[in-house]
């Protein structure tokens, strides 16, 4: 099994202290503390998966420089403030890049890099021999094996072609609050489930979704559809 570990969330979490009270300092100030926390969390995940699969290789992904999606619209991730970045975040990204031989992206996001490797390696070694390790729901748009290590889940997902297709088109309606992508405010997963009930192919999903864009955006439907699609679709080329 080849593991593709999206380490961005682990790096972010490694900068935070466990607080006993709300008044306690929430960020680490000593880089050694963050390094230790990252290592412990990282190895806990790998060791857990080794009890279920023979692990042949682990590829770690950590961060990127530049983001083509921000050229599509200035609204993309505009809801995120640099003031909320932990002080040690930059140092931790550099640490993981240097000491975990991680893959770093340019012009695209970390999940795009993971997606590219997943497509290439699953094609080369087989879909059942490559697993994405992440808590990011965006990967559910692929028919992949995915391990969600969040403490509330800790589960391996085996996503089928049909599930992956539905997950992506559902997200085009429900949006992604974390990335400030929402083209149909007030319409969520329940609406998408009913709306796509009779869809079973790429063509039927596309046709029905485009109709929804035409109803809301009129003459700008094509522009908005393309914009939404490219913001949410992970790049594999």
Quick: pLDDT tens for 27-46: 999 999 999 999 999 999 99
Kindly state the greatest CA–CA separation across the chain: 55
Q: What is the pTM of this model?
A: 0.93
CATH number at residue 44: 3.40.50.1010
List alpha helices for 126-198, DSSP H: 161-174, 189-195
Answer with the one of 121, 138, 159 that is the final residue of a domain.
Answer: 159
Kindly state whether residues 100 and 137 are assigned to the same domain. yes
155-158/145-148 β-pairing: antiparallel
Please give the pLDDT value at position 140. Answer: 98
DSSP 3-state of 84: helix
Choosing from 137, 159, 181, the residue where a domain stops is: 159
Residue at a domain's end among 132, 159, 186: 159
CA distance 144 to 152: 21
Beta strands (DSSP E) in the chain are 2-6, 57-65, 103-106, 130-133, 145-148, 155-158
Is the same domain home to 83 and 108? yes
Could you tell me if 91 and 136 lie in one domain? yes
Residue 237 in any domain: the answer is no
- What is the tally of structural domains in the chain? 2
33 with 141, same domain: the answer is yes
Q: Same domain for 22 and 50?
A: yes
Same domain, 112 and 12: yes
Say if 217 falls within a structural domain: yes
Q: Look at residue 169 and tell me if it is in a domain.
A: yes
**Model confidence pLDDT, tens digit, residues 169-211:** 999 999 999 899 999 999 999 999 999 999 999 999 999 999 9
**Closest Cα partner for 18 from 30, 27, 7, 8?**
27
Domain region containing 149: 2-159
Same domain flag for 6 and 28: yes
Mean pLDDT of 160-169: 98
């Amino acid at each position: 099994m080849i593991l593709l570990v999206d380490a961005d969330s682990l790096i972010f979490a490694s900068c935070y202290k466990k607080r006993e009270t709300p008044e306690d300092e929430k960020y680490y100030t000593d880089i050694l503390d963050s390094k230790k926390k990252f290592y412990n969390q990282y190895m806990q995940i790998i060791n857990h998966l080794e009890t279920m699969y023979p692990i042949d290789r682990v590829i770690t992904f950590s961060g990127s420089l530049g983001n083509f999606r921000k050229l599509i619209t200035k609204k993309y991730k505009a809801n995120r403030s640099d003031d909320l970045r932990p002080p040690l975040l930059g140092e931790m990204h550099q640490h993981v890049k240097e000491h975990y031989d991680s893959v770093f992206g340019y012009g695209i996001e970390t999940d795009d890099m993971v997606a590219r490797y997943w497509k290439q390696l699953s094609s080369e070694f087989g879909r059942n021999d490559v697993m994405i390790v992440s808590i990011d729901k965006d990967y559910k748009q692929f028919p992949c094996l995915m391990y969600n290590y969040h403490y509330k889940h800790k589960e391996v997902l085996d996503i089928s072609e049909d599930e992956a297709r539905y997950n992506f088109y559902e997200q085009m309606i429900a949006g992604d609050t974390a990335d400030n992508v929402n083209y149909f405010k007030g319409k969520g997963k329940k609406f998408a489930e009913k709306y796509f009930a009779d869809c079973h192919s790429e063509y039927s999903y596309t046709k029905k979704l485009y109709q929804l864009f035409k109803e809301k955006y009129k003459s700008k439907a094509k522009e908005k559809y393309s914009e939404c699609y490219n913001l949410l679709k992970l790049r594999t080329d």
